[in-house]
Amino acid sequence: MNMYIITGASKGIGFELAKQLSEAGEYVVGAARTDNKLDGVKFYQADLSELANLESLIHDIVASIPQGVESITLINNAGMVDPIGLIGAVHAAEMAKAMAVNLTAPMIFSNAFISKLENFKGKKRIVNISSGAGRNPYEGWGTYCTTKAGLDHFSRVIALEQEKAKYPVEIISIAPGIIDTGMQETIRTSSEDAFPLLDRFIDYKKQGKLVSAKDTAKKLISIIENESFNEIGPIADIRNF
């Protein structure tokens, strides 16, 4: 049996990952602000912007690992695109919250995951859900782009450090493409003043260019389960598979 820890497991890709993995008989632990109502998923209700609680949360999750688990995968999926706006016109509190959810929380989770499982001899993997926005600048997404770029570079550092570990953690930071989720709805309801590329994202929806969360999760699972996983990263794009 394999164990999966998924943040942002109540919506979008995270929900689909939890659902599909649970239905496949895997042991799935989900964490999110709202319950995902999925049978077979052990769920922890948590606001990932409340950073003081996160280390104890991942410690509790790791402490609950059942007997016979052969591999453990942490999927840092939770994220937010807000605040959308040109720098100079966004609220500091919103920037700080996005930094916490998109970057600091995955860093804390990964740090605790690596520490608590240092002597676990089975397969250990971290999958960070990144974005093309971390690799290309977009007007109006200063905070989002920065957090995803930080997540990518954090993943590079872990990959480098784990080369020296006795029981190394394998890691990738993967851009999942343009997906039909609530995040896309948030983008489409922004203003053109705040997000100059608004029309492009409205067209993605109109032209059917958005991939479903279900299909994206299915593809992500196939990548995670690939025997050559460690040769993929640390930086990847789902559209290359």
Closest CA to 124 of 8, 238, 229: 229
* Residue 5 CA: distances (Å) to CA of 31, 116, 169: 8, 14, 14
Please give the Cα distance from 75 to 78 (Å, whole number): 9
Please give the Cα distance from 50 to 177 (Å, whole number): 28
Q: Decide if 75 contacts 127 (C-beta within 8 A).
A: yes
Q: Which phi and psi angles does 73 have, rounded to 5°?
A: -120, 125
Handedness of CA 17, 21, 23, 29 (dihedral sign): negative
Please give the Cα distance from 27 to 5 (Å, whole number): 9
Say which residue the tokens 């895997």 belong to.
Answer: 26
Residues with a catalytic annotation lie at 144
Closest CA to 117 of 83, 184, 72: 72
Q: How many CA atoms lie within 13 A of 100 on its CB side?
A: 14
Q: Decide if 81 contacts 183 (C-beta within 8 A).
A: yes
